[in-house]
Amino acid sequence: MTAFLLVLLILVALGSNEAVGYYFTHCEDRELMDCLMREVEADEAEEGDVVATGVYEYKGNAVTVTMTIPLGGGGVTGVVSGTCEGSFKGNYGDGALTGSMSGVCAPFFINIPASATFVGSVNKSAKTVPVTFTGRGGGITHEGAMVLTYP
């Protein structure tokens, strides 16, 4: 009986960790139960938008960043996947790109709430998006830079 309760406790802990990870990745601005009971709808790129992608590596952990950027200006959306999972919102206008990300990072199989702010620009002739960011999570702050590209 003790072994059964121990296994049950471990399964509940793992399920709770996944639920918290899903919430911070997809639903930072909604109630927990509303988020967990509804599917997250993906934003589709509109005409005039570009989808820029890049990979950032740090201490053996990698994340892939995908941004949908309206070249005419407006709201930027995107996702982060890999060691960290999350979504971000931002704005592009007058050549400047700004925004923030919220989600979770799981470098040791435990979801740790994380956030980041970023600034950058779009080089339309080179089809690149250089970005600098400051990320925070688990009491750690990290600054970095990366370049996204688009076709």
pLDDT digits (tens, 9 = 90+) for 23-47: 555 565 666 556 655 544 434 444 5
- The domain spans of the chain are 1-151
- Model confidence pLDDT, tens digit, residues 3-13: 555 554 554 55
Q: Is 139 left (phi over 0), alpha (psi -120 to 50) or beta?
A: left
Q: CA 15: distance to chain centroid?
A: 21
Mean pLDDT, the chain, as a whole number?
A: 81
Closest to 94 measured CA to CA, from 70, 65, 77: 70
| Check whether domain 1-151 has CATH 2.30.29, yes or no | no
Find the distance separating the first CA and the last CA of the chain, reported in whole Å. 59
